[in-house]
Amino acid sequence: MLQVFEAAAGWPSVRARLTRRIAEQDLASLDEAVAFAVRWHGDQTRPAGEPYVEHLLEVVCVLVEAIGTTDIDVLRAAVLHDVVEDTECSLEDVRERFGDRVAGLVDWVTKPAPSEGQTREEVRAAYLTRLLSAPDDALLVKLADRLSNVQRLDTHPRPEKRRSYYQETVRSVVPLAQSHPWFRQWYAAWSDAFGHLAVDSADAGSR
């Protein structure tokens, strides 16, 4: 059965789950990162309507509970990974508050805005290609990020997005997981669990 990570009860519940694994001083640092992310993301929601912060906390849960990450900079970057891409927060805002390493990790997993003459598809393709040379810590954040986004892919309200996201994940993200045993096994199980989307995609393309 596919392992699914939950954070619907919010940060206090997730924090309590992490107390056996992470030192209190590091949890205090995560408190600050969560508050920062909540302030910037505001009332943003996920495609199925859940508060956006749930996604950020799920990424942290994957890193800590699945692969045992306790590096506080990696975990803070996990909480902040979308704040530059999806809000008015700048990378310099992140750097000033959380330091160079956290900002660097956030930068690796931030898809840039299109330059003049670039399409969104071209930007996305270049972003995914760049991840092939990402440092291992940034790659872990990305793999946990995509896991959170696809673990309940069948709840996405748009069928065409389910199909395209499945295809993109298999094509561009699953290969990134091959050097990490836990992620490799999880994504293999996920690919099987949602394999009907590959069939749906092939059927859609033939119509």
Q: Which residues are catalytic?
A: 85-86
Return per-residue pLDDT of the chain as tens, 207 residues.
899 999 999 999 999 999 999 999 999 999 999 999 999 999 999 998 999 999 999 999 999 999 999 999 999 999 999 999 999 999 999 999 999 999 999 999 999 988 888 898 999 999 999 999 999 999 999 999 999 999 999 999 999 999 999 999 999 999 999 999 999 999 999 999 999 999 754 454 433
Amino acid at position 38, single letter: V
Tell me, what's the pLDDT at 141?
A: 98
C-alpha to C-alpha distance for 190 and 38, rounded to whole angstroms: 29
For the record, the structure tokens of 114 come out as 């299109």
Q: What are the extents of the domains in the chain?
A: 11-157
Tell me, what's the pLDDT at 113?
A: 87
For the entire predicted model, the pTM comes to: 0.94
Q: Which residues pair with 45 in a beta bridge?
A: 51
Tokens 């793999």 belong to 143
Tell me, what's the pLDDT at 202?
A: 46
For the record, the structure tokens of 17 come out as 């789950």
pLDDT tens digits for range 5-59: 999 999 999 999 999 999 999 999 999 999 999 999 999 999 989 999 999 999 9
**CATH class entry, domain 11-157:** mainly alpha
184 touches 143 (CB < 8 A) = no
* CA-based nearest residue to 139, from 65, 70, 61, 74: 74
Tokens 């690919």 belong to 191
Cα Rg for the chain, rounded, in angstroms? 17
Tell me, what's the pLDDT at 200?
A: 56
Tell me, what's the pLDDT at 131?
A: 96
